[in-house]
Chain A
Amino acid sequence: MILTTAVTRDWTQRRTAKRERLEAVRSLTSGRVLAAGRIRDALQALLRPGDRVALEGDNQKQADFLAEALAGCDPEVVHDLHLLISSISLREHLDVFERGVARRLDFSYAGPQSTRMAQLLADGKVDVGAIHTYVELYARMFVDLTPDVALLCAEQADRDGNLYTGPATEDTPTIAEAVAFHDGVVLVQVNELVDHVTRVDIPGDWVDLVVESPRPFALEPLFTRDPRHIGQVEILMAMLALRGVYERHGVTTLNHGIGYDTAAIELILPTYGEELGLRGKICKHWTLNPHPTLIPAIESGWVESVHCFGGEPGTERYVAARPDVFFTGRDGSLRSNRVLCQLAGQYAVDMFIGSSLQIDARANSSTVTEGRLAGFGGAPNMGHDPHGRRHASAAWLSLPTGEAPALRGRKLVVQITQTFRSGGTPAFVESLDAIQVGKDAGMPIPPIMIYGDDVSHVVTEEGVAYLYKATSLSERCEALAAIAGATPVGRDMTERRVEELRRDGLVALPEDLKVDVRRADRSLLAARGIEDLVAWSGGLYDPPAGFRTW
Chain B
Amino acid sequence: MTSRTHDVYADWRALLDRASFIELGARARAVALLDTGTARELCGPFDRIESPWLEPQGVVPESDDGVIVVKGRLDGRPAVVIAVEQAFRGGGVGEVSGAKIAAALSLAAGDNRDGTPTAAILLLETGGVRLEEANLGLATVAEVCSALLELRPLQPVIGVIAGALGCFGGMSIAAGLCTRLIMTREGRLGLDGPQVIESEAGAAEFDASDHPLIWSIDGGTQRTGTALADTLVLDDVTAIRSAVIDAVAQGVPAEHRSQRLGELRAHLHAVDPADPPEPSGLAAAWATASPQEGDAQ
Judge if A536 is at the interface, Cβ distance under 8 Å. yes
Judge if B254 is at the interface, Cβ distance under 8 Å. no
CB-CB under 8 A for A550 and B219, given A228-B164, A528-B23, A545-B211: yes
Query: Do the beta carbons of B164 and A528 come within 8 Å of each other?
Result: no
Chain B: which residue is nearest A525 at the CB level?
A: B23
Judge if A539 is at the interface, Cβ distance under 8 Å. yes
A523 vs B16: C-alpha distance when bound (angstroms) = 12
Query: Do the beta carbons of B12 and A549 come within 8 Å of each other?
Result: no
A535 vs B12: C-alpha distance when bound (angstroms) = 5
A550 vs B9: C-alpha distance when bound (angstroms) = 12
Query: Do the beta carbons of B15 and A531 come within 8 Å of each other?
Result: yes
A382 vs B184: C-alpha distance when bound (angstroms) = 43
A-contacting residues, B180-239, CB 8 Å: 185-186, 209-212, 215, 219-221
Chain A: which residue is nearest B188 at the CB level?
A: A549
List residues of chain B with CB within 8 A of the CB of A405: none
Partner of B211, one of A528, A535, A549: A549
Query: Do the beta carbons of A535 and B186 come within 8 Å of each other?
Result: no
Query: Do the beta carbons of A549 and B210 come within 8 Å of each other?
Result: no
List residues of chain A with CB within 8 A of the CB of B137: none
CB-CB under 8 A for A550 and B215, given A535-B16, A539-B12: yes
Query: Do the beta carbons of A549 and B212 come within 8 Å of each other?
Result: no
Partner of A538, one of B9, B12, B20, B22: B12
A528 vs B17: C-alpha distance when bound (angstroms) = 12
Query: Do the beta carbons of A550 and B185 come within 8 Å of each other?
Result: yes
List residues of chain B with CB within 8 A of the CB of A535: 12-13, 15-16
Encoded as 1 (CB less than 8 Å from any A CB) or 0, chain B from 92 to 132 comes to 00000000000000000000000000000000000000000
Query: Do the beta carbons of A547 and B16 come within 8 Å of each other?
Result: no
Q: How far is the CB of A526 from chain B (nearest CB, A)?
A: 8
A419 vs B98: C-alpha distance when bound (angstroms) = 37
Q: How far is the CB of B217 from chain A (nearest CB, A)?
A: 13
Judge if A439 is at the interface, Cβ distance under 8 Å. no
Query: Do the beta carbons of A547 and B211 come within 8 Å of each other?
Result: yes
Query: Do the beta carbons of B212 and A522 come within 8 Å of each other?
Result: no
List residues of chain B with CB within 8 A of the CB of A522: 23
CB-CB under 8 A for A546 and B12, given A228-B164, A522-B23, A528-B23: no
Query: Do the beta carbons of A548 and B12 come within 8 Å of each other?
Result: no
Query: Do the beta carbons of A549 and B15 come within 8 Å of each other?
Result: no
Q: How far is the CB of B297 from chain A (nearest CB, A)?
A: 34
Judge if B10 is at the interface, Cβ distance under 8 Å. yes
A527 vs B186: C-alpha distance when bound (angstroms) = 16
Query: Do the beta carbons of A549 and B23 come within 8 Å of each other?
Result: no
Chain B: which residue is nearest A550 at the CB level?
A: B185
A529 vs B22: C-alpha distance when bound (angstroms) = 10
Judge if A220 is at the interface, Cβ distance under 8 Å. no
Q: How far is the CB of A550 from chain B (nearest CB, A)?
A: 4
Partner of B210, one of A529, A531, A545: A545
Query: Do the beta carbons of B15 and A548 come within 8 Å of each other?
Result: no
Which of B10, B186, B209 has the largest count of A CB atoms less than 10 A from its CB?
B186
Judge if B163 is at the interface, Cβ distance under 8 Å. yes
CB-CB under 8 A for A532 and B23, given A228-B164, A545-B212, A550-B186: no
Partner of A546, one of B15, B209, B219: B209
CB-CB under 8 A for A528 and B215, given A535-B15, A539-B10, A550-B186: no
Query: Do the beta carbons of A549 and B163 come within 8 Å of each other?
Result: yes
Partner of A536, one of B12, B22, B210, B215: B12
Q: How far is the CB of A310 from chain B (nearest CB, A)?
A: 23
Chain B: which residue is nearest A534 at the CB level?
A: B12
List residues of chain B with CB within 8 A of the CB of A527: 16
List residues of chain B with CB within 8 A of the CB of A546: 209, 211
Q: How far is the CB of A362 from chain B (nearest CB, A)?
A: 35
List residues of chain B with CB within 8 A of the CB of A228: 164
Query: Do the beta carbons of B10 and A548 come within 8 Å of each other?
Result: no
A545 vs B210: C-alpha distance when bound (angstroms) = 7
Q: How far is the CB of B146 from chain A (nearest CB, A)?
A: 33
A527 vs B17: C-alpha distance when bound (angstroms) = 10
A432 vs B87: C-alpha distance when bound (angstroms) = 33
Chain B: which residue is nearest A544 at the CB level?
A: B211
B-contacting residues, A497-531, CB 8 Å: 522-523, 527-529, 531
CB-CB under 8 A for A549 and B164, given A522-B23, A528-B23, A539-B10: yes
Q: How far is the CB of A456 from chain B (nearest CB, A)?
A: 35
List residues of chain B with CB within 8 A of the CB of A547: 211
Partner of B186, one of A523, A538, A545, A549: A549
Q: How far is the CB of B16 from chain A (nearest CB, A)?
A: 5
24 example contacts (A-B, Cβ-Cβ < 8 A) are as follows A228-B164, A523-B23, A527-B16, A531-B9, A531-B15, A531-B186, A532-B16, A535-B15, A535-B16, A536-B12, A536-B16, A538-B12, A539-B12, A545-B211, A546-B211, A548-B211, A548-B212, A548-B215, A549-B186, A549-B211, A549-B215, A550-B185, A550-B186, A550-B215
Sorted from nearest, which 7 A-B pairs have the closest CB atoms? A550-B185, A535-B12, A535-B15, A545-B212, A548-B211, A535-B16, A549-B186
Interface residues, chain B, with chain A CB atoms under 8 Å away: 9-10, 12-13, 15-16, 20, 22-23, 163-164, 185-186, 209-212, 215, 219-221
Interface residues, chain A, with chain B CB atoms under 8 Å away: 228, 522-523, 527-529, 531-532, 535-536, 538-539, 545-550
